Structure 1
């Protein structure tokens, strides 16, 4: 059996104004990953889209259906996502104590963090396995010789812990050529969005992202699947990692978003009662929404008319 792992990061330890940096690993059998990739490619063809998935770049809800369908599909597959959150303040403090430059500290973290993440993803594996690791292309990784170091350390872990997997390869890949790398990027983006409570910012982009995340999580059993399949670990300067519950961050978001939506839906309902039979564009103008929030307006309208928020996303 062959098992594939994909690695990506969000924020950096030395990035100004960032309290945390995030590192994610996404794993599944080669057959599962192949099936996922082929299914998503078919979705893209049906939707007539070729653009990549990147949560950071999701700033217009014209792509709502694409992101929603992919996220809904992925969370219902047999995959594991581990995310490690590093407290940047603690990292900076340790660097000062040891008289390390931030570049030296980053170099050390780039070796240790992927190792901890990959071990977390592989520790449940049993039987003889070849593991392939794909990393989003980064010149810093190449300069560090990260690939060979990860391979050596992970194979040492396997032998020491009497596991039967072997790291067969560690390679860099361009994200535009890898749907799984785009998937870990997007799920990490959602986790960062929830943890940092970015949804409280007052901007149209925030509303667009919030609408996507709320629709995705509120569909079926997606909240339960999200909590089950996405594990968060925090490093705060201690040897042992602390496990965090992503459910706490989801609950805070869902409550906040529901309150906002109740107010907006009530406003739309009053407008529709006063002005029946208008086009969606006319209702959007009366709500004073920009064009980038058209799908959010349509979701509210479907809810007012009893079809449910995600009605159009399944048509």
Structure 2
């Protein structure tokens, strides 16, 4: 008996001073090829919808909620594995010029392997891997490297999976990749939990308020999914330490509610939202 899965890998954060996240989502093909997912995929290809949290606008709220509602409604079928690290941690090493070589030869494979291993003890799994295209990935032959590494690991550890293909694909061509990108963006906002008020100008960032509102709503809708993200931090010894997402989530929600009370959340959500945030008078000007 065989099962085919699609694996989507993406990266968030390349600045040496920020948290870098490399994550992968595994989705069974019998779900990914369903009518509802393919309809959303067609809308993506027709450019009727787009997902990139860096450029998030409040008008996109419903699209993001629909995306997560669709995928996470089958959360028992999904596996989301993320490795977090800081490039700056290696900046004093004698081989600091090799940081990117180390990152891309090790961490993507660790992220995807964590998603595939133990997927099934009784079923052989064939995996197709899709990685968002980047010039650096192409130069490094990352797709070929990952396929080779994972198949070697599967044989060495007697796992029950085989990577059939791994390929680089452009953004807005697979909704599974956009879902992975959105998951990483939400995860980054939860972990960083930035202040909506900037210390330099003492103004509130309207954009960040909208993002945090989205994240808050997604947590309320799909708390179990976010609490069970397999998040690992790369330590100084090259080991992966599991991180409890519940602590990050509780801190994020507590801070968001406090900020909403202090600054008056004015970002309106669409009318059918179960978690509608009512308009309050704002107390300080917003940064455009």
Deviations 1:37-82 (A, max 9, x none): 325348x59xx97131111111x21121111121233222221111
Aligned: 1:242 with 2:244: no
Deviations 1:76-97 (A, max 9, x none): 222111111112232223xx32
Look up the SS of the partner of 2:91 in the other structure: helix
Q: Which residue of 2 is the match for residue 86 of structure 1?
A: 85
CA contact (8 A) 2:118 2:160 kept: no
TM-score by length of 2: 0.83
Q: Does 1:76 align with 2:76?
A: no
The reply to whether residue 194 of structure 1 matches residue 176 of structure 2 is no
Q: Residue in 1 aligned with 2:257?
A: 258
- Which has the larger share of strand? 2
Q: Which has the larger radius of gyration?
A: 1
Point out the structure with the larger helix share: 1
1:100-249 superposed matches below 5 A = 100-101=96-97, 104-126=98-120, 127-201=123-197, 202-219=204-221, 222-228=222-228, 230-249=229-248
Is 1:76–1:225's contact at 8 Å kept on the other side of the alignment?
Answer: no
Alignment match of 1:53 (pick from 29, 46, 51): 51
Q: Matched residues in 2 for 1:72 and 1:212: separation?
A: 13
8 Å CA contact retained: 1:199, 1:210: no
Partner secondary structure for residue 225 of structure 1: helix
Given that 1:7 and 1:26 are in contact with CA atoms closer than 8 Å, whether structure 2 keeps it comes out as: yes
Unaligned 5+ segments in structure 1 are: 266-286
String of CA shifts for 1:133-156, please: whole Å, max 9, x gaps. 111001111111222221111111
Q: Provide the C-alpha distance between the structure 2 equivalents of 1:6 and 1:308, rounded to a whole number of angstroms.
A: 30
Q: Which runs of at least 4 in structure 1 moved beyond 4 Å after TM superposition? A: 262-265
Contact 2:127 2:164 in 1 (8 A): yes
Q: Distance in 2 between matches of 1:11 and 1:237?
A: 19
What secondary structure does 2:33 align onto?
helix
Q: How many residues align?
A: 264
Aligned residue in 1 for 2:282: none
Aligned counterparts of 1:308 and 1:134: Cα–Cα separation in 2: 34
Q: 3-state DSSP class of the match of 1:81?
A: strand
Stretch of structure 1 that moved more, 70-79 or 142-151: 70-79
